[in-house]
Amino acid sequence: MLLKDHAKLLFTGDSVTDCGRARPVGESAFGGLGNGYVLLIDGELHAVHPEKKIRVVNSGVSGDTMRHLDARWQTDVADLRPDWLVMLIGINDVWRQFDAPLIPESHVLPEEYRRLMKLRVAEIRPELDGLVIMSPYMMEPALDDPMRRRMDEYGAVCREIAAAHDAVFVDLQAGFDQLLKHYHSYVASGDRIHPNHIGSALISRLFLQAIGA
């Protein structure tokens, strides 16, 4: 288990992380973590490792891209002073290129995505005990699907930055690819992106395995 006793574990990202969490910051008490994978991780950590007393915090925002996360980084990441930071960002960076093709100003292309993530990771990594970067994903088994191909590009950026900054990389795309060998994507998501309880459980499991919990 990589987390030390009494560690503050902050999750940030987009709607997959947000899941209706409390504002301004989601905490474990009073249902503040939302109803997604962060809630499942919190439950597992307290049920299996109660002696560690991990504080789980959620600052995900629905609809966010890396550009949005960069703009709110100070208040929603740095000022919260986490011991461990978990980032899951990039799905909307890709999605806007396909669902809003005529609004190019909403597109965060790979070069900008890489630049902003590298900047923020390099800035905060010395302040952290640990960093986890989880790959964006699409529940699409056809590797030649244009949006799936694009998503894989952003996942490769996450892997690259994680390796450069001694971070744990969690390949969510690979995890969902295994699931899709047995089930259609509708079993885990209604739109191939937003996870239901099965998709959220998979994200939770992959994260917990990665940190040795």
Active-site residue flag, 59: no
Q: Is position 83 annotated as part of the catalytic site?
A: no
The answer to whether 16 and 91 are in contact (CB under 8 A) is yes
Q: Which of 76, 93, 185, 194 is catalytic?
A: 194
Tell me how far apart the alpha carbons of residues 25 and 150 are, in angstroms, rounded to a whole number: 31
95-130: burial string, b at 16+ Cβ within 10 Å, e else? bbbeeeeeeeebbbeeeebbebbeebbeebbeebeb
**Active site residue: 5, 145, 191, 197, which one?**
191
Residue for token digits 């709607």? 15
15 has catalytic annotation: yes
Angle at 205 between CA 204 and CA 207, to 5 degrees: 65
Q: Which of 15, 28, 135, 204 is catalytic?
A: 15
Give the catalytic positions in this structure.
15, 191, 194
